[in-house]
Each structure stands twice: as C-alpha cells, then as structure tokens.
Amino acid sequence: MSSPPPPSVTFFQLPELASLLSSFLRAGDISNLMQTNRALHTLFYPCFWYHLDLVSEEQVIRLIKSPDAFSALVNNFDRIRSLKITLVFLCFHHVAAQEYMEQLQRNNNNDASMAELPVPLRLAKPAWHPTPSYRSQMLTVRPLPLFTHLNRLHVNLEFLYGGRYLSFAINMYNTTPLILTVCWLVGLNPGLSDLCIHGVDVPTPLSIRVLARTVSRLQNLKHLELKCTTTSRPTFYDVAKVFFALPPSIVSFKWKGELVHFAPIPDLSVTQREPDWNEGILVERHEPLLSLTVLELPADTTGYLHLQLKHIFNHCPMLEVLEFPFINPDENDCYDMVDVIKVNCPRIRRVFVRQSYRDGRGRCVLGVAESLPRQQLVTLHFTGIQDDSPGRLGVTVTTHSTTLRRIVLREAIQLQSNGIQEILASCRALEHLEISGMRHSRLAITLADATLAPWVCSNLKYLGLAVNLGDYNRLQTGWNEELRRWTALETFYRNLGTLTKLEILDLKSVAVRVNPTGNEFDLTPESRVFPGMLILEDKAINKHGYLMMLEGLKELRELRGSVRLDATDWSLDSSATVGQAEVEWMAHNWRHLRLATFLPENHDKVPAIDVPEHLRWLQTQLPDLRLSRQFRARYHASAKVSSAVSAPNAMAPATFTSGPAFTTTSTFTSSQPSTTPISSEFTTEQVFTAGLTSTTSGLTTSYAHSASPTSMTSSSVMSPPPFIASPAFTAATTIIAASQSSSVTQPSPPSSEP
C-alpha cells in the first residue's frame, strides 16, 4: 500500500486553499506557478486574473497594442474582481466599451433599443454622461466588454498625463468631468465592496448628485475612500450629501483633502433641464449607520462648526476610529464638542490627529479621550500637541492605561516630563511609543522622571524618546553628586533593558546651548551620546559601562538616535569608546540587528569617511547590518506609484505622488519588521507536480515529488505533462504580471492604523 501524500501536496487538492494562497502572491509569482504543469495552471488560472493592476502608463499602452495580450484580457474580463487603474485606461475603456455596445447592437438587431438590452448594458450610456468629443481622434479601437463583476475598484485621476500615446485622454481630462466617467464605471458594478477614488473633482451640482446616487446604490459597499484634488475642493454641503447617501453596509468612510470653507450652499435640486432628470430627486438617508466604524472628514483649515459636526456624529453610534476634525476655536466651545462625541460616539477606540492642530493645544482631543469609558482607548495619534497643563496628558493616559497600545505624538510643541513618565510607568499594554518634534528640549523626559519608577510597558516594540540627562559633560568619579548621577544613569539603562520585546530603539540625547545673544537652541542629537550605554564595564581601569544591562534586547532590529561613534563623549576618558570587545558582544546578543546609526548618513557614498576595522568585522558577522541611514534619490519623468508590499492593507497604503518632469524625491530605507503573514514569493525546496481531476467523474488525483525520487515509484505515480504556454498566454503574463510585480494579488480593506 502506497503511503498517503504529505500535507504540502494535499494542500493543492483544495481549490479554496489555493485561492487563499494566491492572495499572498504577486501576479508574477502566480504566473510562474501556473507554468509548472497543467494541473497548477488549471488551478491557479482564475486566481491570476482576480486582480488587474493597470497603473503604469507604459503597461497600458503595451497591453492595448499587443493583439495577444488584449485578446487574453477580453477572454478573461469576467474573471476580474479587483481593478486598479488611472486616467489612461479609464479613457480607453470608456471608448472601447462604447465600441463594444455599438457592435453588440449591430450583431443583434440594428433597430434594437437600449431598453431591450440587459440592465448592466443599459447603464453603459447614462443620460447624464455626454458622448466623448474625442471619439473621432481614435482611428481603430477594438471593443472591450464591460466590467460588471468587480468587488474592488481603485481609480487614480491625479496622474499628470501629457497625452504622448493617447492624445484623446488629455482632451477628455480638459472637457469632461472625470467623476462622471468613474461613476459610470462604478454603476456597472453594483456588487462593489471596496471603492477608492483619488482625484475627485465635483465642479458642478450634477457631478455631486451623480456621485451621491451612485454610492447610494452600492448596497454591498463596505469601504469608501475619496480624495479631492488640490485645485478643486468640495464644500461641507458636498461632503454631507455623499455622507447621507452612504448605504447601511458602509464600514469605513474617508474623504481626504481640504474643504472650501466660505462657499455658498449649492443648489442640488433637479429640474427638467438637467440631464439626470430621469434619475429622480436625491433621497437622503435618515437612519444611523450601524456598521460605520471608521470616519475621516476633509480638513477645514478654518475649522468646522459645532452644528456641522453634530449633524454628522448623530449618525455614527458605532464609530470606533475617528480622524479628529479641527474645531473652529473662535466660534465653538470645545467642551460642547466633547459632549457631542461622548453622547453619540461612545465606542471610539482609536483617535487620530494627523494634521498639525492650529490652536497648538488639543484640549478638545484630550477631553474626548478622557470622556470615553475608562480603559477603552487603544490608539492616540496626535500631531502638534502642546501639553502646557501639568498632568493633563498623564490624566488621559491613566484613564486608559490598561488598553493603550499605540501612542504617537509627532511634531509635538511642548510636553511635560511627568506626563511621559506616567506613560512608561502605567501603560502595561503599550507596544508603540513615538515622541518627536522640532525642539527636543521641550518634549523630553528628564533623567529624574525616567528613573522615578520601574517601566511596566514590557510589550514595547518601538520606542522613540528624547531624554534630558542634564549637564553631564563634566562628570568624573569620586564626588558624591557625580556618583548619584551615575547611579541614576545605571537605573535608566536597567529600565531600558527590561524591554525584552523591543525591535526599534530611537533614543535622542537632549543638550541646549546658549548663543552670544542669549537665545537657547538645541544641539543635534547626533552630536551627543548617552554616557557608557554602548560600553562594556572594565573595573580594572575604572571605566564605566552599561552595555551588559541591554542584554535582554534580543529582538532589537534598529538602533537609532544619539549613538554616533564619531560624537565625543566628554563624560568618559579616551579609552571609553566602542571597540572590538563591544562589537563582539553585539554580534552575539543582537543577532537581529539590521540598522545601527553609528556613522553619518550615506557614509558609504562619502569617500572621506573611513569605516573602522571593528565595524567592518561586525558587518561580516551580521551581513544585513547597515551602519547609517540611507537616502536614495529617484528621478522620474512622470508620476510614480509607491506601494508597500509588506503592509497589511495593499490598496490603502499605495501612495500616489505626481509632479513635473525629473522630480527628485528622497526615500529613507529602513528595515521595518514585515507585517506580511507569509512571504510574497512562492519558494519551496520541493517542486510539486499534480494531476488534478474531477472527483465526480470517478477519476483519482495523483501527486508526486519531483525533487524526491526515492519517495515515489513509477507504478504508483505518473507526472502530468508539462504546461506549454500559448502565445496569447505568454503575452498576457508578460505584460500584466510585470505591471503587478509590486502589488499583492488580493488587496485587503483599508486599515485604520497609520
């Protein structure tokens, strides 16, 4: 009796598991897997077409001009469930779909009316969308069927396109409201669950009415993200019209951008002269959104009014994630806004303030956090906080000390040291603590507060902190005061060593200097180091060192901040420097270290910087270790798409940037821990060949390990013939898979985390 196949082979007997596996693979990986043999080709062929990424302008042009690839797209259009496009393909698809409609009518009946066609085809020519004036500019357009089975749609209209290949696209951009074309495409897919439109332009009441109607008809819609252009900003009434058209199924609603504050109320009534007269009047939803958990409204630089936000929050009883809007401080009482959110949105767990707060204090945000039920808040992400009230931040933290897992205070203006101490001494569930700003001296924790009590946040994985150690530049042993401060430093390092799950450590040493005019300014953190933190103690020569106290940081991946080895530590003698003994200790205890900013940025590109021999030895022991932050310049003639493959949300984290020709951008390369559940590449030591057959026909399925000849016999297992790709398949996989080489096959819903 032959032994049963191993689980790794049995895995491919279940198409559901294969489909789940494909969600973690890129299209290029699926293409390679399909060409292994016929069985895997049959199994993964539908998965290959599940997600179509046509963002690259050159890829779209090559797809259109390749007869084989275009035929493959036409033959498999009904398999596509997720579509990601930009202006170029949107314009082409509009014209190609119209050609398909005309051909369909000619083939069926020259006198057939649109009313006799199926519902999705009748929607192809809405009365409110004018016929494109650029149709005559296109000499030959092959018909393309309509996409009617999409579950996810991501449209980006922000790309700068000069019409180098398709001149009609730029004409459409100038003459037709693109949001109408997008709504036409969305209307063909009533089963959409995720919709993302970047570059929303609603210049007329017609466009906002069409957008609201289209959204209201998506009864399965769960995630909606809109982003307006910088040149055309909506009013609050436009946003409210879309908000009150959201279907009951909506879970996440984000409208990014800025509002026009001083604008007249638009007239959205429908008259017989309007092209959407047959659509009927707009009907607003009066019931609350019981599934809505994530809300982000456009920024208003002048500030929202109390009544405006109350009108919105009354419909959000289940809200959990709130991008906090800026409240007009001149026309509103922040305590009124606290009461509105407390009454209507009692389930908030994550609060985000990504844009710098204009009043610089954030009293309303902290008041909302304190008004929530105790031990409920999970995330506090604040930009531009000014905690000038002693103990205010500490009160907020204490209220949710057992649930807070993420505290991010960026561009902070001022913080109290005792508030930071309260975070370290009470937040047991904290995993991410990040405090940054322009003046580190105004947001640093003092050495006395840092050693006041043991740190209880043992689950920390990211720690970004500024520490004011005082005037330690003349410390010498032998004096009582200096011995006390050395003892405090030892306690500080001991607290730091208890964070055994720490992966990223960014410690900045604070030092203030007074210039001849009497003004204070902060020295750069790289110019000062933490005394003895990276030094091994040697009592024989009376050398202080505390590196042994950091032995518990076994998971450390990045070490940043005031750790530059070229900085002078005046608190120690010349022998107290990082040497061979220290790097050997690091190589033995910090096996996961990938970044240590011991040298200036881009040190490998500066010939004058010589890497010490003991650091070269450390890199031989840790081959992936970088000794400085690396910045690279990218030059591009057209807009680029930057997408994070390792992020849990592949569609929300895609960042679209556009600019003029030859724009230079700097990108910081960091070894952040990957959040992808499994590798995005399908790699294995064994190559599987499978003969997949139907179980209903009475045939059997056989598998074989082609990499393990001794585990199989010729009488029990026969390998299926290899798969030979056709020209159409080769052209399609070459063009389409290349365009998806940096994207995940099945993007996840938008994430609420930053």
For 238, 440, 527, the CA distances from 446, given in Å and listed in that order, are 49, 11, 19
pLDDT of residue 221 exceeding 90, the answer is yes
Taking 3-state DSSP, the helix, strand and coil percentages for the chain, each rounded to the nearest 5, stand at 35, 15, 50
For 156, phi and psi rounded to 5 degrees? Answer: -120, 115
Q: Which residue has the tokens 């693979």?
A: 25
> Do 226 and 752 contact (CB within 8 A), yes or no?
no
Average pLDDT of the residues of the chain: 75
pLDDT, one tens digit per residue, over 733-743 is 665 555 555 44
DSSP class per residue in 219-237: TT--EEEEEE-SSS---HH
For 382, 429, 521, 529, 670, the CA distances from 524, given in Å and listed in that order, are 24, 32, 10, 11, 21
pLDDT, one tens digit per residue, over 3-13 is 777 776 677 77
- Report, as an integer, the average pLDDT of 605-615: 81
pLDDT of residue 422 exceeding 50, the answer is yes
- Confidence tier at 673 by pLDDT (50, 70, 90): very low
Residues of 262-287 as b/e, b for ≥16 C-beta within 10 angstroms? eeeebeeebeeeeebeebeebeeeee
pLDDT, one tens digit per residue, over 568-590 is 554 555 456 788 999 999 999 99
What is the spatial distance between Cα 570 and Cα 472, in angstroms, rounded to a whole number?
Answer: 8
Pairing of strands 252-256, 294-296: parallel
What is the spatial distance between Cα 602 and Cα 373, in angstroms, rounded to a whole number?
Answer: 48
pLDDT, one tens digit per residue, over 172-186 is 554 457 888 899 899
Q: Is 302 helix (H, G, I), strand (E, B) or coil?
A: coil
- Report, as an integer, the average pLDDT of 551-579: 77
> Do 392 and 368 contact (CB within 8 A), yes or no?
no
Token pair of 202 as six digits: 């609603």
What is the spatial distance between Cα 324 and Cα 301, in angstroms, rounded to a whole number?
Answer: 13
- Report, as an integer, the average pLDDT of 678-698: 32
Max Cα–Cα distance, the chain, nearest Å: 104
Q: In this predicted model, which residue has the larger pLDDT, 144 or 527? A: 144
- Percentage of the chain lying above the pLDDT 70 cut: 68
Token pair of 384 as six digits: 């531009």
What is the spatial distance between Cα 145 and Cα 153, in angstroms, rounded to a whole number?
Answer: 17
- Percentage of the chain lying above the pLDDT 90 cut: 26
Q: In this predicted model, which residue has the larger pLDDT, 115 or 593? A: 593
pLDDT value, residue 647: 32
The helix (run of H) or strand (run of E) holding residue 408 is strand 406-410
pLDDT of residue 636 exceeding 60, the answer is no
Specify the DSSP class assigned to residue 622.
Answer: S
What is the spatial distance between Cα 446 and Cα 452, in angstroms, rounded to a whole number?
Answer: 10
pLDDT of residue 97 exceeding 50, the answer is yes
What is the spatial distance between Cα 409 and Cα 407, in angstroms, rounded to a whole number?
Answer: 7
Task: Please enumerate in sequence order all residues whose Cβ is within 8 A of that of 102, keeping only pairs 6 or more positions apart, or say none.
Answer: none
